[in-house]
Every structure is written in C-alpha cells, then in structure tokens.
Amino acid sequence: MTDDRQKRENAEALAIRALAFVAADPELLPRFLAISGIEANSIRQAAREPGFLAGVLQFIAAHEPTLMRFSEESGIPPQQVSAALRALPFGDDGHDRSA
C-alpha cells in the first residue's frame, strides 16, 4: 500500500470518529446539519460523497472549543485533525492531483 493511500485511509478513519463524535452530541449535530445543509436521514448517503469527510473535519477544526473537546475525548491531538484534513479530497487545494 502506498504511503499516500495509507494516509488517506487513516484520515478517513479519523473523520469517521469525528462524525460519530458530532452525531452523539445533541448540540453539535443540529449545528453541523444546519451548516452543511444535510438532513439527518441523509447522513449515510452524504458520507459517500467526495469531500464529506473533509467537511466533518473542517467543522470540528473551525471551532477551537469543539476541536479541543474532540481531541481530549478521542486522544487525537489537534494537529492530527489538521493533517487528516489535508489527506482527504477537498481538504486542501491539491486533492485532485493525487487521483
């Protein structure tokens, strides 16, 4: 497995943990849904779309108290969230070059 592919798979796993974190929080989930424009019953379908997982990490990273709480609860350093974001499609400007 290539290093880039491993990074992307690790980033996807981290983003899925972040999504579970958001989904389990009665205050964060409605805010995430409102900002993303996704309906609660469409999350599974939306999760298959390119950029969705990057959007979850962007949501977490955009609010420092949320990022810090996610980091504390998951044991994942905040810097790792940023690195994971860059490894996902639409997480940075170079995503389309790695296809």
* pLDDT tens column, 38-76: 998 898 888 888 899 999 999 999 999 999 999 999 999
**What integer pLDDT is reported at residue 1 of this predicted model?**
58
**What integer pLDDT is reported at residue 80 of this predicted model?**
96
**What integer pLDDT is reported at residue 27 of this predicted model?**
95
CA distance 36 to 30: 10
Which own/partner contact pairs does 44-50 have at CB distance under 8 Å and 24+ positions apart? 47/19, 50/89, 50/90
Tell the residue number behind the tokens 């409605």, with chain if given: 30
Does pLDDT of 98 surpass 70?
no
Statement: the pTM of the whole predicted model exceeds 0.95: no
**What integer pLDDT is reported at residue 93 of this predicted model?**
45
Tell the residue number behind the tokens 């504390």, with chain if given: 72
